[in-house]
A and B are shown apart, each in its own frame.
Chain A
Amino acid sequence: MKSLQELKEIREAKAGQVNIRFNPDNAEEAVKTYVLVCGGTGCTSNHSWEIMDELKKLIAAAGKKDEIQIIQTGCQGLCAKGPILVVHPGNVFYQEVTPEMVDQIFNEHIIGGRPVEEFLMVEELTNGEKIHYVDSAFYNNQMRMALRNCGRIDPEDIDEYIARDGYMALNKALNEMTPDDVIKEVVDSGLRGRGGGGFPTGKKWMFASANRGEVQKFVACNADEGDPGAFMDRSILEGDPHSVLEAMAIAGYAIGANQGYIYVRAEYPIAVDRLKIALDQARDYGVLGKNIFGSGFDFDIDLRLGAGAFVCGEETALMTSIEGNRGEPRPRPPFPAVKGLFAQPTVLNNVETYANIPQIILNGAGWFNQYGTETSKGTKVFALGGKINNTGLVEVPMGTTLREVVEEIGGGVPHGKKFKAAQTGGPSGGCIPAKSYDVPIDYESLKEIGSMMGSGGMIVLDEDNCMVDIAKFYLGFTVSESCGKCTPCRIGTRRMLEILEKISEGRGEIEDLDRLYDLAKYIQANALCGLGQTAPNPILSTLEHFRDEYEAHIVEKRCPAGVCKALLNYVIDPDKCKGCTKCARNCPVQAISGEVKQPHVIDSGKCIKCGACMENCAFGAISRK
Chain B
Amino acid sequence: MKVSSVPFSGTKEQEARLLEVIAKYKDMKGALMPIMQEAQDIYGYLPYQVQKIISDETGIPIEKIYGVATFYAQFSMEPKGKYTVAVCLGTACYVKGSGAILEEVEKVLGIPDGSCTADGKFSIETCRCVGACGLAPVMIVAGDVYGKLKPEDVEGILAKYE
Contact = CB atoms under 8 A, between A and B. Distances in A.
A326 B67 contact: yes
B133 interface: yes
A391 B72 CA distance: 30
B152 to A, nearest CB: 9
B74 interface: yes
A22 B145 CA distance: 32
* Residue of B31, B37, B92, B145 most packed against chain A (CB within 10 A): B92
B136 interface: yes
A306 B145 CA distance: 21
B95 A386 contact: yes
Contacts of B33: 304-305, 307, 321, 324
Interface residues of A, number: 53
A308 B130 CA distance: 12
Given A82-B134, A307-B72, A391-B136, A231 B129 contact: yes
A310 interface: yes
A42 B68 contact: no
A268 B131 CA distance: 8
B3 interface: no
Interface in A62-98: 78-82
Contact of B135 (A42, A229, A423): A42
Contacts of B73: 307-309
Interface string A288-328: 00000000000000001111111000000000011111111
B130 to A, nearest CB: 6
Contact of B91 (A78, A324, A457): A457
B18 interface: no
Contact of A325 (B68, B132, B134): B68
Contacts of A229: 90-93, 129, 133
B45 interface: no
Nearest to B86: A267
Interface string A245-288: 00000000000000000000011100000000000000000000
A540 to B, nearest CB: 18
Interface in A493-515: none
Contacts of A307: 33, 36-37, 72-75
Contacts of B64: 325
Given A46-B135, A226-B128, A459 B92 contact: yes
Interface string B15-41: 000000000000001111110110000
Nearest to B147: A45
Size category, B interface: 35 or more
Given A324-B31, A457-B91, A483-B71, A45 B132 contact: yes
A228 B90 contact: yes
A45 B86 CA distance: 14
Contacts of A208: none
Interface in A111-129: none
A42 B147 CA distance: 10
Interface string B107-134: 0000000000000000000011111111
* Residue of B64, B68, B133, B136 most packed against chain A (CB within 10 A): B133
B32 A324 contact: yes
A399 interface: no
A45 B129 contact: no
Contacts of B134: 42, 78-82, 385, 391-392
B145 to A, nearest CB: 4
Contacts of A230: 129
Interface in A470-522: 470, 473-474, 477, 483
B94 interface: yes
A81 B34 CA distance: 37
Given A304-B34, A327-B72, A228 B89 contact: yes
A306 B72 CA distance: 9
A385 B72 contact: no
Interface in B127-162: 127-136, 138, 145, 147
Nearest to B72: A307
Contacts of A228: 89-92, 94, 128-129
Given A79-B135, A325-B68, 6 more contacts: A45-B135, A228-B92, A304-B33, A306-B72, A386-B95, A387-B96
5 contacts: A42-B134, A306-B74, A307-B37, A309-B71, A473-B91
- Top 3 A-B pairs ranked by shortest CB distance? A79-B134, A385-B92, A308-B73
Interface of B: 29-34, 36-37, 64, 67-68, 71-75, 89-96, 127-136, 138, 145, 147
